[in-house]
Structure 1
Amino acid sequence: MSLVLDKAAQDLLFREARTANAFTDEPVTDEQVRAIYDLVKYAPTAMNAQPLRVLLVRSPEARERLVGHMSEGNRAKTAAAPLVAVLAYDVDFHEELPKTFPHAPGAKDGFDGNEAVRQKVGSFNASLQVGYFILGVRAAGLAAGPMAGFDAAGIDGEFFGDGAHRTLAVVNIGRPGPDAWFARSPRLEFEEVVTTV
Structure 2
Amino acid sequence: MRVLTYRHLDPSGVEAQFEKVHAALSRGDFASADVKKLVGHPYHRAKLSDTHRLLLTFAEHAGETVCLLLEVIPWHRYEKSRFLRGARIKEGDIVVPAEQAQPTQRLPYLHPVRPVFHLLDKVLSFDDSQDAIYSAPLPLVLLGSAGSGKTALALEKVRAMSGHVLYVTLSAHLAREAQRLYTQGHAP
- Give the TM-score band, short-chain normalised: under 0.3
- TM-score norm. by structure 1 comes to 0.23
- Normalized per residue, the structure richer in strand is 2
- Normalized per residue, the structure richer in helix is 1
